[in-house]
Amino acid sequence: MQDVEAWEPKTGTALVVDPERGALRPVTDYSDFSHLEKANRVVSALPGGGWRAHWNDEGGAPLTEPILGWLVTSNGRAAPITVDATGWVETAELADKIIPPEEDLLDA
């Protein structure tokens, strides 16, 4: 899987970086090429701002973690990224609720 970097002006073929050649190469040059998939790139990151992610039942107990930041994609979607007590960072898109700053979990 590789990101499309440009489009061939005459044919419209997707071009990807060939690290061995150090140049752009049409995806159709690859014998194992099967298809393109639309993906939204991360274009910005914003601080968590005191927001928290909460799961009602994570491993048998409720869990709330601070949102480290928000990753904003090219389609304008913001995905929350959390950090746990051990420093593990991951997406919180499947959290049961996102809690705003200053709001008590019991009020949410």
DSSP 60-72: TEEEEEEEEEEEE
Closest CA to 26 of 1, 7, 9, 2: 7
d(CA 107, CA 50): 16
pLDDT of residue 19: 92
Side-chain-side CA neighbours of residue 4 (13 Å): 17
Closest CA to 67 of 96, 94, 89, 86: 89
pLDDT of residue 41: 85
d(CA 5, CA 25): 10
Domain residue extents for the chain: 1-39, 42-99
pLDDT of residue 106: 60
d(CA 77, CA 63): 24
* Tens of pLDDT, residues 61-101: 899 999 999 999 998 999 999 988 898 899 999 999 999 99
105 has pLDDT over 70: no
Q: Is the whole-model pTM more than 0.75? A: no
* Tens of pLDDT, residues 6-28: 999 999 999 999 999 999 999 99
